[in-house]
Amino acid sequence: MNSFLTKKMLILGAICVLTFVCFRYTLHNEFTNWDDDFYVTNDPYIKAFTAHNLKVIFTEDITKNNYHPLCMLSLAVNYHFSQLNPMAYYLTNVLIHIANVILVFFLMMQLCALLKMDEKGKLFVASFGALWFGIHPMHVESVAWIAERKDVLYAFFYFIGLLCYLKYLSTNKMTWYWATFFVFVASCLSKPMAVVFPLSLLCIDVLAQRQLSKKLVTEKILFFLFSLMCGVMAFYTQNKTGAIASFGVLTIWERIMYAAYGFVMYIAKLFNPTYLSTFYPYPYRFISGYLPTIYYAAPFLALAIIVLLPYLTYKYARTYFRIVAFGIGFFLANVIFVLQFISVGAAIMADRYSYVAYIGLFFLIAYFLQEVIKNFPAIKTAMILVLLFISSGFAYLCYERTYAWHDAESLLSDAIEKYPYRALLSYKWLGNYYFDKGELDKAMENYGVLTMIRSADAKIYDRVGNIYALKKDYKKAIESYSQSLELQNNVLKTYVDRSIAYTMMGDSVNALKDFVIAYRLNPESEKIFADSVFNFVQRKQYDLAINEYNMLLKFNTSNPFYYFYRGVAQFSKNNVDAAIADWEIAVKFKSKDVLQSASYNLSVAYDAIGNENKAVYYALMAKTVGYAVADTFIASLQKKQLEQSKK
């Protein structure tokens, strides 16, 4: 191994170690309630490698977010080996990220080769480009978020695809062309954001100074067709879930301003990655109706970067034009569909969208820095020291940012602290976090911010209703459920919850009305209602349980459990005859789950009213069907039966 190769491997190894150190705290982080529940903790399809689960993973959008089967398959592998131990999931993310760092290093080496750079120049560009990619604070979101496994995974295939394409350009072998395409498909199956891959190939064509030709066009057709198919599917999925806002919500000029603002801010965050957040809200308007000045300036700044800078380079320094065109073009190509011209979601930008896009800017910056050093060798040492100092700042900020991702509370509180009363989704998710932990006052505090500003999210009012119900303030619970139904009037669970609240207030008429509506929306609501009524029995609220089982039996007279548990409630209220009547009906269904307990209960009940013949009969029945009836109990009943027959 020659000394230069050794140096190259040592530098790359050091970059990988530093990247791991910057992300090492993530190994101590927990699952969050920001999509980690949909992707891992509550997803049944990743929890067993069965033919059915694999079929669902590859044929359905199981997260109700996007179709990314390879991402879900990787999470299934994690679950197979570590179940719900979050460390394994985070370690996998970090290791894939480090693999991406290695790929970026070799990708930049190959891009430099297109420019006929010497080995020292290539090493400089590749080293700093890979270093910044590995430790930039804007990339923490992609690595430290388990649900964003799709980001690091799609980038892994994306970078391999770019390397395969560069190999195709240098060898002209179709084997590398098809390798490029199939790796591109894998990238799209990891995250639909990979649909911009053909645009990245065109950027490489510009850097390689390929002439426009029939071959250049025809070799991209397959890529663009597959991109179109994936893009349409992604748009359909996002639109179906309500993530895409109607075009009437924002004016064309607003869309241009918001897209330009995102473009400019991604570049600004590259140089100043502070005040990062999981949530960047859309701008507020002043009382005058105007937006902050930056939004009006953003389209002109973006135009200067996209058009004016390449134009000036082409006109006055044509040697550098293709580097500028590649760097800005690659960045723009990889953020173009997330600049919110088509408004998706409630945030105007997101750190994770910079993960692949920054490659273009890192390459551009590193290239021109090495040009400065090459032309002014006297400042080489000072320049490298400055760059290492700046890189140390990135590393520190990256490491610090991983702490924000420790759990849902730290993550969402961070966004709320930075955007109080504006990071609205963070208030909702933090409220959900506290609600699930049973910290109802803290949950209400966060939901209260949203209700105060009259949020249009029906689920918020539903949760507020649940909190009031748990606190036994049923009047306020009903008011909140009603507000929820005004916003979304076809939610069967809300009707069931309000029906139960009416029941708790003794309003059986309205309780029945809501249950009828819920049942018409979906007969499955009967099970939700039945589970709630069973809780009344467990909490010894027997009058409520009896009333609700009466309601259930108006809709379904063939469920033996309703008779059985109504009988339990009646017996607990000392209504023995009513209990016996219910249990007699229950045993006639001959359902083993009910027959055992019901027959034994009948034995006890008949013994209580002095009918020993029936008591013995049902005790023996219970024993026959498998209930653990004590022989001493049967013997005592038989003794009473004998004494009764002698009278």
> How far is C-alpha 125 from the geometric centre of its chain's CA atoms?
35
Q: Please compute the mean of the pLDDT values over residues 35-52 and round it to a whole number.
A: 88
- pLDDT tens digits along 118-153: 999 999 999 999 999 999 999 999 999 999 999 999
Mean pLDDT, rounded, for 206-228 = 90
pLDDT digits 0-9 by tens, 551-562: 888 878 888 888
Helix, strand, coil % in the chain, rounded to nearest 5: 80, 0, 20
- Between 209 and 629, the higher pLDDT residue: 209
pLDDT at 400 over 90: yes
Q: Between 553 and 16, whose confidence is greater?
A: 16
d(CA 577, CA 118) in angstroms, rounded, equals 97
Calpha distance 64→21 (Å, rounded): 34
CB 452 within 8 Å of CB 433: no
Instruction: Output the pLDDT for position 241.
Output: 55
Contact (Cβ atoms closer than 8 angstroms) between residue 101 and residue 130: yes
Provide the sign of the torsion angle of the four alpha carbons 268, 273, 275, 281, taken in this order. Answer: positive
More confident residue, 191 or 347: 191
Dump pLDDT digits (tens) for 468-496.
988 889 899 999 999 998 888 777 788 88
91: closest CA among 40, 144, 43?
Answer: 144
Percent of the chain at pLDDT > 70 equals 96
Q: Could you write out the DSSP letters of every residue in 343-406?
A: -BSSEEE-GGGHHHHHHHHHHHHHHHHHHHHHH-GGGHHHHHHHHHHHHHHHHHHHHHHHHHTS
Given pLDDT bands bounded at 50, 70 and 90, which one contains residue 345? low
Does the pLDDT value for residue 248 go beyond 60? no
Whether the predicted pLDDT of 529 surpasses 70? yes
pLDDT of residue 335: 93
For residues 63 and 57, give the distance between their C-alpha atoms in angstroms, rounded to a whole number. Answer: 10
Write out pLDDT tens, residues 410-461: 999 999 999 998 888 899 999 999 998 889 999 999 999 998 888 888 899 9
Residue type, position 117, single letter: M
- Residue 239: per-residue pLDDT: 60
Q: What is the DSSP letter of 489?
A: T
pLDDT mean across residues, the chain: 88
Q: Is 36 exposed, middle or buried (0-12, 13-18, 19+ CB in 10 A)?
A: buried
pLDDT at residue 266, as a whole number: 96
Write down the pLDDT at residue 268: 95
- What is the rounded CA–CA span in Å between residue 282 and residue 346? 7
C-beta atoms surrounding 391 within 10 Å? 18
The string of DSSP codes covering 171-205 is H--HHHHHHHHHHHHHHHTT-GGGGGHHHHHHHHH
Unique residue bearing structure tokens 């999925």: 237
pLDDT in the model for residue 589? 84
What pLDDT does 93 receive?
A: 96
Tell me the C-alpha distance between 475 and 507, whole Å. Answer: 11
Q: Rg of the chain over CA atoms, in angstroms?
A: 33
Give me the residues paired with residue 280 across strands.
349
Judge residue 637's burial from the number of C-beta atoms within 10 Å of its C-beta, 0-12 exposed, 13-18 middle, 19 or more buried: buried
Higher pLDDT, 455 or 115: 115
End-to-end Cα separation, the chain, in angstroms: 108
What's the one-letter identity of residue 404? A
Structure-token match 């589970």, residue found: 531
pLDDT digits (tens, 9 = 90+) for 54-80: 888 888 877 777 788 999 999 999 999
pLDDT at 646 over 80: no
255-275 pLDDT tens trace: 889 999 999 999 999 999 999
- The answer to whether residue 507 scores a pLDDT higher than 90 is no
Separation between Cα atoms, residue 107 and residue 420, nearest integer Å: 41
Q: Count of residues for the chain?
A: 647
Q: Provide the pLDDT for residue 6.
A: 87
Residue 83: burial class (beta carbons within 10 Å; 0-12, 13-18, 19+):
exposed
Give the span between the Cα atoms of 114 and 329, in whole angstroms: 17
Give the pLDDT confidence score for residue 348 in this predicted structure: 87
Q: Specify the pLDDT at position 45.
A: 87
Question: What residues contact 454, with CB distance under 8 A and at least 6 apart?
Answer: none
What is the spatial distance between Cα 77 and Cα 93, in angstroms, rounded to a whole number? 13
pTM score, whole prediction: 0.82
Q: Rounded mean pLDDT of 572-598?
A: 87
Residue type, 268: A
Q: In the prediction, which pLDDT does 626 show?
A: 83
Domains of the chain and CATH, by start: 3-404 (no CATH), 574-647 (1.25.40)
* Least confidently predicted of 192-196, 547-551, 561-565: 547-551
